């Protein structure tokens, strides 16, 4: 299907309830760029929770993954690298080679992983999304929407709160390099922002899904088709401000139910060998005295019971004890150190799940038994993670250890993309009241000399014969910014009106269309009260 090239779209929701606060072209299928990596990371977190892989599982880098264009971590074909580093690189730096390696390692191939991505998107209710690759580089048939990506951002927060802090990192150790966040500018400039992901390609424009918490409120929003990093961040700040101003301080949190795919329990087969003692046939008393060997006083009761044809716990215990002594004497089994835990199915379940768990001394450091290979060898299922281990523990070999190096200067690394089922949900802290005042950032005109002119997509407005015009402007970006600002200020008065930038010989006309006369006059009157000139026009 044809996907629109970088029109502007936006969606704002109350993360606590999932309720829509504001939308513009929110269901238009657009290029998501690196916002795709949110789904790649969602599936990686899911695989860890299900015990399919561990953070120290090593993934093999294929030539296809290593050849991905920037942004890149710099992986080499044939290299093996731990999953924790791949996650850091994909989430913080938005590295395409790392995301592709995750996809191939989990799915066996990028095509098979894309099928898993699409199945999960459907399970999460992302109705207008289809993935073709794991990193988001522009490909035919690869698309999503502002609404769907906001939904995915909310699911990352609620379904995997134990991993969510990776999205607020300004820098991270990715194993072979220290990486800086592509979202550092927004995280540093907007109060309460703690994620989530940036994206950029020439076809997509500048995209961002962001989450912020203030008081008891948490707002998640997505902007697609921004003209620059600054423009995108500026619009996002306005959208979040409007969201905090509109959201109720007393809204009741309604956590999303985990999707069906995550609730399917993995069948675990446990093979238990039980010692069996066959009852002996009764023996005459005369023969019995000759047949019974001389036993120690501790063994004699068990021997009498077995020769009488009755199996007792003491008989089984004695048999097991003699077997252990025999095997230990001939060296067929290693001796367990005093006080060491017996390796049973239950004790193994917590071992080696996270990087903070100790490895057996007989295994070399980093040589995990679940190393992933592509595509013939898939990661071997591993036990569930140890709930006692903290992913944020300082200096632990875990996913989210902060680099001791100071964060590098903010750079838009995403801009280099232009080259071309048991799951325990951990309770997350309720997001923190803020005043209802909306503080709008200044929207100064930005340079709009793009290689491809932006397109604006509007909804069908048949049957609505009036609109409101805000006037003519020198650039399309200036007109679009004023429309966003007005929509945020008077969302109730404008109702379901659509924004539209019309190109004329005299400049770019900023309009709201699809309104009745009464609605248009009311909206224009409220805008004029804010010192915004406008006129009611027939459409």
Supply the residues annotated as catalytic: 34, 37, 94
- Both ends of the chain: CA-CA distance in Å? 31
- d(CA 150, CA 219) in angstroms, rounded, equals 10
Answer for the pair 249, 217: CB distance below 8 angstroms, yes or no: yes
Within a 10 A sphere around the Cβ of 21, how many other Cβ atoms? 22
User: Which phi and psi (to 5°) does residue 91 adopt?
Assistant: -80, -40
Buried b (16+ CB within 10 A) or exposed e, 377-413: ebbeebbbbeeebebeeeebbbbbbebeeebeebbbb
- Give dist(CA 44, CA 86) in Å, integer: 10
Q: Which two tokens stand for residue 122?
A: 């459907």
Contact assessment for residue 24 and residue 31, using Cβ atoms and an 8 Å cutoff: no
Distance (Å, whole) CA 470 – CA 479: 8
d(CA 267, CA 276): 27
Q: CA distances (Å), 38 to each of 167, 208, 534, in order?
A: 10, 11, 41
Q: Which two tokens stand for residue 31?
A: 């290029």
Closest among 155, 157, 127, 154 to 143, alpha carbons compared: 127
- Residue 484's CB is within 10 A of a number of other CB atoms, namely 23
Residues 6 or more apart whose CB falls under 8 angstroms from that of 425 comprise 158, 159, 161, 255, 258
DSSP state letters, 24-89 = ESTT--B--GGGGHHHHHHHHHHHHHTTS--TTPEEEPPHHHHTPPSS-----TT-EEEHHHHHHI
Q: Which residues pair with 205 in a beta bridge?
A: 201
Bridge partners for 198 per DSSP: 208
Place of tokens 């021997």: 303
């Amino acid at each position: 299907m044809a996907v629109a090239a970088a029109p502007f779209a936006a969606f704002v929701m109350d993360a606590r309830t999932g309720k829509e606060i504001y939308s513009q072209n929110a269901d238009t299928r657009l290029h998501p760029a690196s916002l795709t990596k949110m789904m790649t990371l969602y599936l990686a977190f899911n695989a860890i929770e299900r015990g399919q892989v561990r953070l120290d599982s090593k993934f093999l880098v294929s030539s296809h993954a290593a050849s991905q264009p920037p942004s890149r971590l710099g992986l080499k074909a044939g290299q093996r690298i731990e999953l924790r580093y791949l996650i850091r690189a994909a989430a913080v730096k938005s590295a395409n080679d790392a995301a592709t390696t995750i996809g191939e390692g989990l799915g066996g191939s990028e095509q098979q992983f894309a099928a898993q991505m699409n199945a999960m998107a459907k399970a999460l209710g992302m109705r207008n999304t289809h993935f073709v690759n794991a990193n988001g580089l522009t490909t035919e048939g690869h698309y999503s929407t502002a609404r769907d990506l906001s939904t995915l951002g909310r699911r990352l927060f609620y379904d995997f709160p134990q991993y969510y802090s990776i999205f607020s990192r300004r820098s991270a150790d990715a194993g072979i390099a220290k990486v800086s966040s592509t979202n550092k500018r927004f995280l540093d400039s907007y109060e309460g922002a703690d994620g989530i992901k940036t994206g950029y390609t020439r076809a997509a424009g500048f995209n961002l899904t962001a989450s912020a918490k203030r008081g008891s409120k948490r707002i998640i929003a997505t902007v697609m088709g921004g003209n620059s990093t600054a423009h995108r961040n500026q619009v996002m700040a306005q959208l979040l401000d409007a969201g905090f101003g509109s959201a109720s301080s007393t809204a009741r949190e309604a956590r999303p139910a985990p999707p069906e795919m995550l609730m399917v329990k993995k069948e675990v087969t446990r093979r238990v060998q039980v010692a069996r003692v066959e009852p002996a046939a009764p023996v005459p008393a005369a023969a019995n005295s000759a047949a019974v060997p001389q036993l120690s006083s501790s063994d004699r009761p068990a021997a009498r019971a077995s020769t009488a044809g009755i199996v007792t716990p003491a008989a089984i215990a004695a048999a097991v004890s003699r077997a252990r002594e025999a095997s230990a004497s001939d060296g067929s089994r290693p001796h367990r150190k005093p006080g060491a835990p017996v390796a049973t199915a239950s004790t193994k379940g917590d071992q080696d799940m996270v990087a903070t768990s100790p490895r057996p001394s007989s295994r070399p450091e980093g040589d995990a038994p679940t190393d992933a290979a592509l595509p013939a060898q898939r990661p071997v299922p591993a036990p569930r993670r140890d709930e006692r281990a903290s992913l944020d523990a300082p200096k632990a070999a875990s996913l989210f250890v902060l680099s001791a190096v100071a964060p590098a200067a903010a750079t838009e690394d995403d801009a280099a993309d232009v080259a071309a089922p048991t799951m325990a949900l951990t309770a997350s802290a309720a997001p923190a009241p803020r005043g209802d005042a909306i503080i709008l950032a200044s929207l100064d005109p930005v340079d709009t000399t793009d290689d491809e002119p932006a397109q604006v997509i509007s909804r069908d407005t048949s049957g609505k014969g009036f609109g409101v015009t805000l006037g003519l402007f020198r650039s399309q970006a200036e007109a679009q910014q004023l429309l966003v600002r007005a929509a945020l200020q008077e969302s109730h008065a404008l109702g379901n009106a659509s924004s539209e930038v019309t190109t004329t010989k005299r400049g770019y006309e900023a309009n709201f269309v699809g309104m009745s006369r009464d609605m248009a006059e009311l909206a224009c009157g409220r805008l004029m009260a804010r010192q915004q000139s406008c006129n009611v026009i027939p459409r």
